[in-house]
Amino acid sequence: MLEMIRKHVPLLTALRGYDRTMLQGDATAGMTVAVMLIPQGMAYAMLAGLPPIIGLYASTLPLVVYALFGTSRQLAVGPVAMVALMVAAAVGSVAEPGSGDYVAYAVLMMLMVGAIQMAMGIARLGFLVNFLSHPVVSGFTSAAALIIGFSQLGHLLGVSIPRSHHVHEILWGAVQKLSEVQPVTFALGLGSVVLLLALKRWNARFPGALTVVVIGTLLVAGLGLHERGVAIVGEVPKGLPPFGAPSLDVEVLRALAPSALAVALVGFMESVSVAKAFARKNRYEIDANRELIALGAANLAGSFLQGLPVTGGFSRTAVNAQAGAKTGLASLITAGVISVTLLLFTPLFYYLPTAVLAAIIMVAVFGLIDVAEVKHLYHVKKSDLGLLVVTFVATLGLGIEAGIGTGVAASLGVVIFRTTRPHTAELGRVPGSHVYRSVERHPEAETFEGVLVVRVDAQFYFGNVTFLKETLQRMLRKARTPVRAVVINASTINHLDSSADSALHEIATDFREHGIELFFANVRGPVMDVMERSGLVALVGRDRFEMSVHRAVVQAREHVSGLETIASPPEPDPERADLPGPVALPSPAV
């Protein structure tokens, strides 16, 4: 019974062998993250268009639930900027920001996100996050950081700028309101940005956000800056969040469903990537499906306390780990500190200027712009850089959800393109061995007159049948002398569908009519099973299937008697009349 409980409550397993040193680390980390999360939670709630107190509500019970069921021992769950912006974009389309319906629908979205994540975890769909490739995530994050950061420009300048999720519209709105900028508000906001950056550079673990909150609040209260036009948070409800089920509206549910799915996936993606990074560093394993269930349960629980969707954040997790967190007990302590704050200290936030919260958001998110990844991909893989740029531009131009959708579609398009035009190579024997390598990369590799050895580095399916036929045709055309035997190294072909199998039947028949023998080497078991059932083995001849390329080449040369070995044949002269014409390969079977 105890083992069953431990299986479903990973925190109990993590607490095995718990000692005073671990408790000291968890306590320090829990309090440190709480100090960081209080101003961040309020700021991200404001970013989502919600009252700041909602951010604190979302930082209580969800943290407790994740600590119990999550498999990461360092992940710090709570409101994050990207999810907050996605919530603002989604809920803003069905309700007026600041209205009671807006708050109710944001809470409903938290319920929907939790339900989706729970369902995905139970169905073991954690692998779906793999469709969000790293270049897509990087491009999306960088663009979202710009949108999030500039969305706070109005609070920083003390002017009203129409809400938008397009950077150019925000900047144009700010330009039009330059004459209305409030100098005191702008000075307070800009000073907060400078102080945050300075404190971060001095000591990344120092509670910079809390420091600027305290200083900003004292300045407003002491100098009466709120009477000179500086916007403040105002009355913050005291006490723990009220418990109640979110109101359900079928029409709103239908309208928010696509956005809730996007938030669930993006939130999980951000959370699990951070969790895996710190799990590797601390030498333990993360279960992606259990992470989905834990995050889903956290969001479901939070929706009954008027929260907004939560997930794991990188900056807080880094601070949590650096401060000494060893288990999920650190998150329990964080939740406890925030609960005490809600019970006793919310009146202290009355004079907190919104410009300071805007500064906290801007400094946090602009650090997510990944210039280093652009440089890296430029040198390593320019096609992946193209994916990053496409996602970045789409997110800036079309918005958050359309941007990530475009990135995923582009990723899938690249995968499809690559599988329909797989890498193929003519092979030759490395001198003095039975090893065969690409003659393009290894000019010293020996080729054999009359024998063409080919490797296809992909599955063979209906999508690449035509390309592979054309590739074989081109290789036969380029041969210096007529080819009388073709050896296909099938070691990298891990799948063969019916269309491709039919094409191989036609190729084998056509080769035989042209006096060309077909041999296979290193055919994998599942592929061989298809060939057996379809009759291809009987058509080609069982003796034409070998376990190694070398044995297949030896057998092929027996059918091309009297030819000498040549090393790296020169490129054929298209004007030579003695070159063979192209073999007429059949059209692909579809």
On the question of pLDDT at 107 being above 90, the answer is yes
Does residue 6 fall inside a structural domain? no
Q: Which helix (H) or strand (E) segment is 558 a member of?
A: helix 549-558
Q: Give yes or no: residues 405 and 442 share one domain.
A: no
Q: Give yes or no: residues 444 and 403 share one domain.
A: no
Average pLDDT over residues 26-44: 88
pLDDT of residue 223: 92
Q: What is the 3-state composition of the chain as percent helix, strand, coil, each rounded to the nearest 5?
A: 65, 5, 30
Closest Cα partner for 311 from 29, 47, 49, 84? Answer: 84
On the question of pLDDT at 93 being above 80, the answer is yes
Cα–Cα distance measured from residue 541 to residue 560, given in angstroms and rounded to the nearest whole number: 17
On the question of pLDDT at 453 being above 60, the answer is yes
Tokens of 292: 């989905």
Q: Give yes or no: residues 102 and 166 share one domain.
A: yes
- Under 8 Å between Cβ of 297 and 43: no
Does residue 573 fall inside a structural domain? no
Does residue 5 fall inside a structural domain? no
Q: With b meaning 16 or more CB within 10 Å and e meaning fewer, what string describes 440-475? A: eebeebbbbbbbbbbbbebbbbbbbbebbbebbeeb
Q: What percent of the chain has pLDDT over 70?
A: 93
Range of the domain at 342: 21-413
Q: What is the pTM of this model?
A: 0.72
- Under 8 Å between Cβ of 487 and 452: yes
Q: Give yes or no: residues 54 and 194 share one domain.
A: yes
For 191, other C-beta atoms within 10 Å of its C-beta total 17
Residue 444: which CATH number? Answer: 3.30.750.24
Q: Give yes or no: residues 441 and 349 share one domain.
A: no
Q: Give yes or no: residues 287 and 311 share one domain.
A: yes
Cα–Cα distance measured from residue 441 to residue 460, given in angstroms and rounded to the nearest whole number: 23
Residues facing 485 on adjacent strands: 451, 517
pLDDT of residue 570: 41
Average pLDDT over residues 322-345: 91
Question: What 3-state DSSP class applies to 517?
Answer: strand
Per-residue pLDDT tens digits for 121-133: 999 988 877 677 7
pLDDT of residue 432: 87
Per-residue pLDDT tens digits for 371-426: 888 999 999 888 889 999 999 999 888 877 788 788 888 888 888 888 888 889 99
HSE (side-chain half, CA atoms, 13 Å) at 65: 27
Per-residue pLDDT tens digits for 261-279: 989 988 898 888 788 878 8
Q: Give yes or no: residues 171 and 248 share one domain.
A: yes
Q: Give yes or no: residues 456 and 401 share one domain.
A: no
Mean pLDDT of the chain: 86
Does residue 590 fall inside a structural domain? no
Cα–Cα distance measured from residue 11 to residue 291, given in angstroms and rounded to the nearest whole number: 13
User: Into how many domains does the chain fold?
Assistant: 2
Q: Give yes or no: residues 187 and 311 share one domain.
A: yes
